[in-house]
Structure 1
């Protein structure tokens, strides 16, 4: 059965996004512990492109399917896992890319929702925090997607969305520049 196309992010309300995110049931990859089977010969590039044996995976439905069985291991590595096999996958930065953002409300009452390159929807909150890492290339914002905070899967927020976040942060009235979403405050500086 073919997967339904994702809804148009621009037409969704924040309530629609929250409802869709809550209804998206992922496989229980954290409970699957098969014997390690080897290397998937797959890589997720810094720009969010998925590769198999050096060639980009062009079918969005395949990327989405693989992304649902992705897990981060205790050693920081990544695997694709099913009940019967576990295969390493190389991840250059973060396994996901936040490519669109929608904002509802202002200040402490604001909610920020993101669409990932896989079509997944995530609302920044205490359960899905934003963090900002200082690098030689400038700040890099990340959004926690799933798994344990600090050891789970994250999305790199695109540079364009970072500028939107920075504009929101700098327009605030507090002493520390940052953004609010779903009752949680995320300081812009690391």
Structure 2
């Protein structure tokens, strides 16, 4: 089944329109309900920069990457798998499964809503269902947002810096930002 949905773009889109577009897409396949036997390794890897590889070669077709992203899930042990109703294959993920590459927002303070576009072509609204946190890693702090099924997206540095600037300007203690009626500290 080919991926036929166009990727969402937060850039230049109002938050209201982005939220409507997210709702119109419907949800992802119910990979959280599928529990087939583990079949082996997919020979695929998602690099830290978000590039998907198959047997060491980049996957060049964005629609193919978007399709694989819809059947991606993180297991309770932290590993990642591609899953269908009849098979489950391991996939290596260097950092996070996705990257948040674009941002739009409306409101200020506790009335703010933040929308993010992911490199998978999906989008989300930061809030209780998609919390933002800062994870300490060997490479320094990693700003991440929960996506679905245990998967996370790392925020592109310019997005994180914009949120950090807002957090400092608003003077919250600890520094952080509001989105969708929830406060998210920008500390690890």
Mark the runs of 5 or more structure 2 residues left unpaired by the alignment.
none
CA distance in 1, matches of 2:113, 2:164: 15
Query: Partner of 2:110: helix, strand, or coil?
Result: helix
TM-score (norm 2): 0.93
TM superposition shift of 1:22:
2.5
Alpha-carbon deviations, 1:137-158, whole Å to 9, x = none? 33210000012xxxx0000111
Give the Cα–Cα distance (whole angstroms) in 2 for the partners of residues 130 and 19 of structure 1: 21
Q: 1:96-154 CA deviation, whole Å, 9 max, x = no partner?
A: 0000111111111111100000110011001100001233433210000012xxxx000
The partner residue of 2:173 within 175, 181, 186 is 175
CA distance in 2, matches of 1:136, 1:156: 15
Counterpart-to-counterpart distance in 2, 1:64 and 1:146: 15
**1:2 CA displacement:** 6.6
The more displaced of 132-141 and 34-43 is 132-141
Pairing partner for 2:85 from 83, 86, 94: 83
Higher relative contact order, chain-length normalized (CA < 8 Å, sep 6+): 2
Q: Count residues in correspondence.
A: 186
CA distance in 1, matches of 2:180, 2:154: 20
CA distance in 2, matches of 1:7, 1:37: 32
Contact 2:15–2:104 (CA<8 Å) still a contact in 1?
yes
Aligned counterparts of 1:154 and 1:49: Cα–Cα separation in 2: 15
Deviations 1:8-40 (CA, angstroms, capped at 9, x unpaired): 433321112112222332111111111111100
Task: Quote the RMSD (CA, aligned, Å).
Answer: 1.5
1:74 paired residue number: 76
Give SS of 2:129's match: coil
Aligned to 2:20: 19
TM-score (norm 1): 0.92
Q: Match for 1:153 among 151, 169, 174?
A: 151
Tell me, in whole angstroms, the C-alpha distance in 2 between the residues paired with 1:126 and 1:7: 21
Change in Cα spacing, 1:7 to 1:90, as seen in structure 2 (3 Å) is closer
Aligned to 1:129: 131
Shift of 1:90: 0.3
The whole-number CA distance in structure 1 between the counterparts of 2:8 and 2:72 is 23
